[in-house]
Amino acid sequence: MALQSATFVNERKESWEKLSTIVRKVKRGGVRRLSADECREFPNLYRKASTDAATAKTLRLSPDTVEYINDLAQQAHTILYTGPKKNLRRIIRFFTRDFPEAFRKNLLPIAVIFFLFFGTGIIAFIAVAQHPEHASALLPSDTIDQVKEAFSEKPERAGHQNIMMAGFY
């Protein structure tokens, strides 16, 4: 068992050291300090360290070794799965650069959807305004009767009550 444990540690020590170096680099200067190779390698090193942490417990390695691997895997997990900090600069950039850029890239589909949605509504409004009998093709007769009833009588109230009602709704 001791030989198996020593072999396990010796075989994996190099990858733990690589992961530890990457973790220290990120803690000191952020993810931008990593090279492209380190960025590609980091998730695999993290997964190996996570697996090694479980294996180290199974092999009953020294508590110091198990704790070192667990801490390393935990720190790597935090780096890998924590999103970027939200700050005012990122929010401003979203509204001043990212959103307008995405809007411009997708202008054609947005315009098509806009005109399909509002265009049909405008066409229906014009058609019913010019020929009220067309309303029955768009709405059930109960709804048409309710609308006619609602707008047939003028409400008996003072002007200030209208303003209050508009504010209420």
Mean pLDDT along residues 61-65? 88
What's the burial of 8, exposed, middle or buried (CB within 10 Å: 0-12/13-18/19+)?
Answer: middle
> Smallest Cα–Cα separation from 43: which of 68, 17, 76?
76
Residue 1 — pLDDT band, cuts 50, 70, 90?
low
Give every CB contact of residue 49 below 8 A, 6+ residues apart in sequence.
15, 16, 19, 69, 72, 73, 76
> Smallest Cα–Cα separation from 80: which of 31, 34, 32?
31
Single pTM value for the model: 0.52
Mean pLDDT along residues 109-117? 96
Listed by start position, the domains of the chain span 2-81, 89-168
